[in-house]
Structure formats: C-alpha cells, structure tokens
C-alpha cells in the first residue's frame, strides 16, 4: 500500500485510538506518534442496528467498543474539516472499521488513501509500518 510522506495513520480498536504520521517514503513508511486522543464515547447508535449479525447471535456485540469506533471517526471528521489532516490511512479491526465507515464525513472520505482491516493498536510501530508496506 502506498502511504504518502506526511500522511496520517489512525490505529483504532474498540478501546484505543492512536494517531501516527509517516515520516518515511511512500513504500517504506516510518511511523511516528502524533497523539493518542482521549475520546468521549457518546454515540451508541450501533445499538439500534446491530449491523454485525454474527456477534448479535453469539452475544459478542460490545456497544462501548462500537461507540469508541464512532467517536474516533467523529474526531477524524473534525480534523479533516479543520484541514488538520490531508491524507489518511485507517487501520482498525474489522468490526471497528465497519462502525467507523458508518460515521465518515464526506470530507474525510475525500482524504482517505487507504484502509486496512487488522487489529494493530498494540503492535510496535515498526510492525505496523511493515504491514502497511505489504498491504
């Protein structure tokens, strides 16, 4: 995957959100930490739809985790609207990524250069860079 120089990378799961920036080259990302925002989980709209049928059946749907994904998308929307993010790659586990997509603003969608559906929030930055380079 191409990760443009200076592009932001959002690592998200149901409990953690880390914003990184690529200081390396397009095919050899070198990720550095920008911030780890403290999100306010207020959007529990997933409770209405339960879009993940498998988790609904097994009882594994955690509304707090989905609300965290929605809060991360809303935070990224605000940054895109303020022109603080020009290019963005989102890396999130499949359930969180699905919830985030439901909340993307059209301005954020214009700035997306890629998405990776993997849980990497607790991995070293070097490993995340290698996964992105190979995606």
Mean pLDDT per 10-residue interval, the chain, length 135 residues:
96 94 95 92 58 56 79 96 97 93 96 96 94 91
Q: Which are the contacts of 50, defined by CB distance < 8 A and separation ≥ 6?
A: 56, 61
The fold of 8-134 is: Nucleotidyltransferase; domain 5 (3.30.420)
Compute the distance between CA of residue 40 and CA of residue 68 in angstroms, rounded to an integer. Answer: 8
| Sign of the C-alpha dihedral computed for residues 85, 16, 40 and 44 taken in this order | positive
Predicted pLDDT at 36? 95
Token pair 């919830």 in the structure block, residue = 99
Domain locations in the chain? 8-134
């Amino acid at each position: 995957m191409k990760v443009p120089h200076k592009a932001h990378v959002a690592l998200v799961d149901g409990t953690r959100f880390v914003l990184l920036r690529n200081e390396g080259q397009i095919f050899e990302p070198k990720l550095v930490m920008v911030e780890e925002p403290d999100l306010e989980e207020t959007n529990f709209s997933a409770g209405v739809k339960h879009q993940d049928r498998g988790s609904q059946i097994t009882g594994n749907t955690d509304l707090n985790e989905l609300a965290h994904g929605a809060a991360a998308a809303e935070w990224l929307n605000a940054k895109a609207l303020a022109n603080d993010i020009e290019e963005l790659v989102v890396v999130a586990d499949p359930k969180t990524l699905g919830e985030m997509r439901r909340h993307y603003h059209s301005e954020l969608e214009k700035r997306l250069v890629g998405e990776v559906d993997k849980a990497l929030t607790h991995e070293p930055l070097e490993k995340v860079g290698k996964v992105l380079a190979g995606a």
